[in-house]
Chain A
Amino acid sequence: MREETRLINETTNRILSDLCTPGVVDATESGQFATQLWQTLDENGLILAGLPEHLGGAGGEMGDSLTVIRCAARFAAPIPIAETFIAASLANFVGATSFSGGVVTVANGEFELSENNTLTGKANAVAFARWAERIYIPAQQQGASVLCVVDRDEVKLTEQVSIAGEPRDAIEVNLVIDAADIYQAPSGLQDYARRLGAMTRSVMMSGALESALELVVDYSLTRQQFGRSISKFQAIQHQLATMAGEVAASIRAADSLIQLQQPVELEVAFAKSRVGQACGPCAEVAHQVMGAIGYTLEHHLNHRTRRLWCWREEYGNERQWQELIGHEMCRTGADELWPRVASL
């Protein structure tokens, strides 16, 4: 790990330990945005750690942002830090010279920009849209890709929540966009957004998996049954060992993304596939070992497992990415499979 990355991880970890308590996460579900947490991360230059300075970032690498995002996920931070990263990275991709900053999100859906710059379309499950100041929207204009920026106040918003209780709102847009808020984009903007999104979800899942394992291991060491801690039972040890394997593989798969300078499609696919498939089995072990208390809203294990169930579906679930890898490998062919794998 780069020294800068290590430092970023430590700082983020410290801030989140203080400001992202289970109470703060719960409060979000009741409709309160974690303002202090957001502002503190922002003041410390962590929200856009990996973005260039002219976009309001700290000038680090993409991996720095992903490190912050993974760390936030360990604490189930209910803030659109991944969405802000995606939006800013899209701005960077289209060559924008500035970025609005603040709380922003991204809408992925069917959007069309007409000749006279009227943006129409809708999107479901727009993360944290209700708390965003602006929404970044990849759209099509006469077959070309454009990136549009709209004020949240100007869209029709229907509040919805994810399986994790986080805002995933539906939006509808029908408005004329100011030319200054339209960026001509290289083709493949939507695909680029999807890859960025899958990257964030992969590192987020790896973070949540890691913290779920910590929670459940701690619990097994303190919970007494039959006169001893349940960690002493082989049945428990083997379940947790299995989970640890999945978690270790997930961390390693996510680490590969943190090393990238660009969201390379195949790498994103490997990570989303590998980490995504770990979520179900790991959540199962965590809940089984923790018993009924882990099934309550009161215990914060649910902050992790519910997010895992949400994130594994977002930006393409593992099956969709696996198809992509598989078709690519079949084009490569049997005799070139090993050389391809060995080159990765």
Chain B
Amino acid sequence: MFQGLNFEPVVLPETADALRKEVRAFLDEETGWFPNSDFNTGASAEFSQRLAKRGWVGMTWPKKYGGSERSFLERYVVTEELLAAGAPVAAHWIADRQSGPLLLKFGTEEQRQRFLPPITRGESFFSIGMSEPDTGSDLASIRTSAVKVDGGWLVNGSKIWTSGAHLNHYMVALVRTEPASENRHAGMSQLLIGFDDPNVTVRGIKNLAGESDFNQVFFDDVLVPDDQVIGEPGNGWVQVISELGYERSGPERFLSSFLVIQELLREVGSNPTDEQAALIGKLVAELVTLRRMSISVAGMLEEGKAPNTEAALIKELGNTFERVVPEIVRPVLPQDASANFLATLNDAILHAPSFTLRGGTREILRGVIARGLGLR
């Protein structure tokens, strides 16, 4: 049996049902957004703050940093409920999912005390700084550099496809602190860079849906103080890899098109054709299985494991699922599909190309899985 192919069934804790009800009651009070289950579509600082007031941002973190010390499985319940409802979660998503956990794992005590409590209040939002104009999947080829100077690091270069940079407060940037060498993965470090620095420029890029959610970010002699280096200088690659279990295994990797399925049910009503029923059945069976696999990984994260192959498998399967949903429902649509349904469908079609790109392309994921199989 291969490493990483086993997703041991995990049962959600007894607290899950009550928590789920609380989240649904909270969401019932929330209005004013067009629902979209894509975690990256729809950022509302106000929504994130109200969510944070309930203790649902940074909810697994220690109380001394503002967290609620709930389990990963409880966090799972909250995140899947938010996504299924199509809530605008983008503002706090990255900080909650991976920047905070990164600081908990590699940050100094001073950094945790400084950066984590504002995140848990929904007042501090983070972006990921990995891709560069000449660096997409080949992350080790980044060129943004940080040179040691008195009291900190002088950063020059550029990051691209940075979601939320125009709204967020910090970027966790992967930069070269040593020139590239024989060992491609050596000499990289992670720095916390504030978007309010005058030497940081954020330029919006419109995606094909016409939204400005991602950006190019320019660093022009940006001085990053020593106390904003995360972990050991030179350890950046290892740290980035350690984020992947969180980044790739969650429900956001297969729920992006969920509302298309839900609204398809509304369209076909209680008496669908067999063909419509079969398609819905196929999608629900896949969804239920993906969800159970994802919960298995949440259980592994809870146990402190690093399920990177498992996470890659969920993202590969999940992205394929969410990308294909809007395509395969088209042939079974009723002739008189409602405007509301078509809006949901078109929204999914327009966002679908990003599903298999962001957070590790399909090609990269297949490489990770192949390594898990012992092929590379």
- Spell out A's residues near B (CB within 8 Å): 1, 210, 213-214, 217, 220-221, 231-232, 234, 236-238, 240-242, 244-249, 251-253, 255-256, 259, 269-270, 273-274, 277, 318-319, 321-327, 329-334, 337-338, 341-342, 344
* Contact indicator B370/A329 (Cβ below 8 Å): no
* Contact indicator B277/A274 (Cβ below 8 Å): no
Determine, out of B45-53, B187-195, B290-298, the stretch whose residues face the partner at the interface: B290-298
* Contact indicator A322/B278 (Cβ below 8 Å): yes
B7 within 8 A of A: yes
* Contact indicator A237/B289 (Cβ below 8 Å): no
Q: Report if A245-B313 is in contact (Cβ < 8 Å); known contacts: A256-B292, A322-B277.
A: yes
* Contact indicator B9/A330 (Cβ below 8 Å): no
Q: Which of B212-267 contact A (CB under 8 A)?
A: 258, 261-263, 265-266
B272 within 8 A of A: yes
B271 within 8 A of A: yes
B7 cross-chain contacts in A, Cβ below 8 A: 248, 251-252, 255
A319 vs B263: C-alpha distance in the bound complex, in angstroms? 22
Q: Report if A334-B265 is in contact (Cβ < 8 Å); known contacts: A240-B370, A323-B281, A342-B81.
A: yes
Point out the residue from B268, B281, B372 that lies within 8 Å of A325, measured CB to CB.
B281
Q: Report if A341-B287 is in contact (Cβ < 8 Å); known contacts: A238-B366, A241-B366, A318-B282.
A: yes
A330 vs B274: C-alpha distance in the bound complex, in angstroms? 11
**A318 and chain B: residue at smallest CB distance:** B282
Which has the most chain A C-beta neighbours within 10 Å: B85, B278, B287? B278
Q: Report if A237-B296 is in contact (Cβ < 8 Å); known contacts: A217-B375, A221-B375, A256-B9.
A: no
* Contact indicator B286/A326 (Cβ below 8 Å): no
**Number of B residues whose C-beta is below 8 Å from A?**
58
B82 to chain A, nearest CB (A): 11
A338 vs B84: C-alpha distance in the bound complex, in angstroms? 7
B37 to chain A, nearest CB (A): 10
A232 vs B291: C-alpha distance in the bound complex, in angstroms? 32
A1 cross-chain contacts in B, Cβ below 8 A: 8
* Contact indicator B375/A240 (Cβ below 8 Å): yes
A247 cross-chain contacts in B, Cβ below 8 A: 5
**B8 and chain A: residue at smallest CB distance:** A1
* Contact indicator B282/A259 (Cβ below 8 Å): no
B373 cross-chain contacts in A, Cβ below 8 A: 213, 217, 240-241, 244
A97 vs B296: C-alpha distance in the bound complex, in angstroms? 40
B316 cross-chain contacts in A, Cβ below 8 A: 241-242, 245
* Contact indicator B370/A344 (Cβ below 8 Å): no
**A259 and chain B: residue at smallest CB distance:** B9
Q: Report if A337-B261 is in contact (Cβ < 8 Å); known contacts: A329-B284, A342-B81.
A: yes
* Contact indicator B367/A237 (Cβ below 8 Å): yes
A341 cross-chain contacts in B, Cβ below 8 A: 284, 287-288, 291
